[in-house]
Amino acid sequence: MMKKYLTLVASVVIMLCVGGVYAWSIFVPPLRADYDLTTAQTQIVFGFTIAVFAIAMILAGKMEKKHGARLTTFVGVILFVAGYLTASLSHGSFAFILAGIGILSGAGIGFCYLSALVSPVKRFPEKKGIVVGLSVAGFGGGAILLSRIAGILLENNVDVLDIFRRVGLLYGLIILISLCFLPAIVEREGSKEVPGRSVRDLVRDRRLLGLFLGMFAGTFAGLMVVGNLKPIGLSFGVAESRATLGISLLALGNMVGRVLWGYISDRMEGKTSIVLALSFLSAATLALLVVSWHGMLFLIVALAIGIGFGSNFVLYAREVSHIYGVENLGLIYPYVFLAYGLAGLSGPAIGGRLFDMTQAYTLAIIVSVVVCVVGIAAYSFLTHRHKEEGETISPVL
């Protein structure tokens, strides 16, 4: 019994470390001021990190299935540390920072995230929703933790490249210790694998496409706001201090929402919870259009958007494990998670582009809401023929 809870705690700790990727914006000002990187270059690094993170999870899922979570996490932490050390030795070179943070650490995050997600679900198969929620809540909280650590170091005039070195070594050590509590072997008991299913069969599965489109819709809207929240607030006349506080509240909502939606998904049908979450996020995003009525409303809306955004990292993983079997979560979920990588490359950029065209965020907000609504319709249409219970398909990949 204790082993199960140690695995869960270790997974949350690993998620806290790799979740620092969401604190990237705190490094942008010193990189621009001290090493002459442009804003576009800093966002390219962040975009690559998210995209590589999503792609690497496919390879990580296959490794975890064959060799177990502990070895998969070990590969991840080596890549993660190597990436931060490469950036720390870059002398401010954009190419080396991109290679280190954007590619190496991005891949490391994917390997660590996959293992930390799958391991506790296998330990608690009867509580998939809340366990996934707790695990990924750590990822959401990672931005708060790293932003505090990096903020203190920057205030004490520590060079940003030196911070990369310290973060890489400290977080790497913590992950190495934590991985000792993940499953060391591949557990094949109770496997429900059905031979004859291939990747080609999988990508033709209407349910998988529905999950992919649902996750894209939710993360597109969420990341558009995450990438532009402060300027959105300022454009609607919100005071700068309150707009800055909104960023923290969105991060808090993101963390709390992951646990909350995990709890909800264990008590209602997976399809119902996904439609409810996308509807909630649509309404919260649309509410941004009225924040100019009262500054306090902006903070409430930011928190609500964070809660809605957090659902994306719980409900789809829970539903994949329900449809395809817990033992295949690591193999199949990365294909759904690619939607997050695509949204990471498009959501914030489109939001910024629409602002450049119109000098207002109104159209960007409306587009995000429309994408969410279309996502609800597409997900509902593609999944309506399938029963919620008793349909477990386990493809051989």
pLDDT at 51 over 80: yes
Q: Are residues 307 and 218 in the same domain?
A: yes
Give the pLDDT of residue 359. Answer: 84
Nearest CA-CA partner of 154 in 244, 38, 47, 33: 33
Helix (H) or strand (E) holding 363: helix 362-383
Give pLDDT tens digits for 332-371. Answer: 888 898 998 888 888 877 887 788 788 888 898 999 999 9
Q: Are residues 300 and 336 in the same domain?
A: yes
- Name the domain count of the chain: 2
Give pLDDT tens digits for 192-216. Answer: 443 445 556 666 788 899 999 999 9
Q: How confident is the model at residue 190 (pLDDT cuts 50, 70, 90)?
A: very low
Give pLDDT tens digits for 276-295. Answer: 999 999 999 999 988 766 76
Q: Are residues 272 and 296 in the same domain?
A: yes
At 5, which CATH number?
A: 1.20.1250.20
Q: Are residues 333 and 205 in the same domain?
A: yes
Give the pLDDT of residue 15. Answer: 94
Residues 392 and 323: their CA atoms lie apart, in Å, by 5
Q: Are residues 248 and 271 in the same domain?
A: yes
Give the pLDDT of residue 194. Answer: 39
Q: Are residues 258 and 133 in the same domain?
A: no
Give the pLDDT of residue 386. Answer: 54
Q: How confident is the model at residue 392 (pLDDT cuts 50, 70, 90)?
A: very low
Among 85-89, 97-101, 267-271, 292-296, the least confident range: 292-296
pTM: 0.79
**When comparing pLDDT for 141 and 96, which is higher?**
96
Q: Are residues 3 and 108 in the same domain?
A: yes
Give the pLDDT of residue 18. Answer: 94
Residues 224 and 203: their CA atoms lie apart, in Å, by 27
Give the pLDDT of residue 367. Answer: 94
Q: Are residues 183 and 208 in the same domain?
A: no
Give the pLDDT of residue 199. Answer: 56
Q: Are residues 395 and 263 in the same domain?
A: yes
Residues 191 and 207: their CA atoms lie apart, in Å, by 21
Q: Are residues 390 and 353 in the same domain?
A: yes
Token couple for 129: 């929703």
Give the pLDDT of residue 266. Answer: 81
What three-state secondary structure class fits 193?
coil
Single out the residue in 187, 222, 254 at which a domain terminates: 187
Q: How confident is the model at residue 388 (pLDDT cuts 50, 70, 90)?
A: very low
Single out the residue in 133, 163, 187 at which a domain terminates: 187
Q: Are residues 183 and 203 in the same domain?
A: no
Token couple for 390: 């008793």
| Widest Cα–Cα separation across the chain | 59
Give 290-305 as a DSSP string: GGGG-HHHHHHHHHHH
Percent of the chain whose pLDDT exceeds 90? 43
Give pLDDT tens digits for 291-324. Answer: 766 768 889 999 999 999 999 988 998 898 888 8
Give the pLDDT of residue 393. Answer: 46
Which residue reads 């890489």 in tokens? 168
Q: How confident is the model at residue 1 (pLDDT cuts 50, 70, 90)?
A: low
* Residue 96 CB neighbour total at 10 angstroms: 15
Give pLDDT tens digits for 118-171. Answer: 888 888 877 777 888 888 888 888 888 888 898 899 989 999 999 999 999 999
Count of alpha carbons within 13 Å of 104, Cβ hemisphere only?
A: 20
As a whole number, the mean pLDDT across the chain is: 85
Single out the residue in 161, 187, 213 at which a domain terminates: 187
Query: Domain range holding 344?
Result: 194-397
Asked if 20 and 171 count as a contact pair (C-beta separation under 8 A), the reply is: yes
Residues 137 and 320: their CA atoms lie apart, in Å, by 18
pLDDT at 105 over 90: yes
Q: Are residues 113 and 45 in the same domain?
A: yes
pLDDT at 238 over 90: no
Q: How confident is the model at residue 174 (pLDDT cuts 50, 70, 90)?
A: very high
Q: Nearest 5 degrees, angle CA 313-CA 73-CA 192?
A: 65
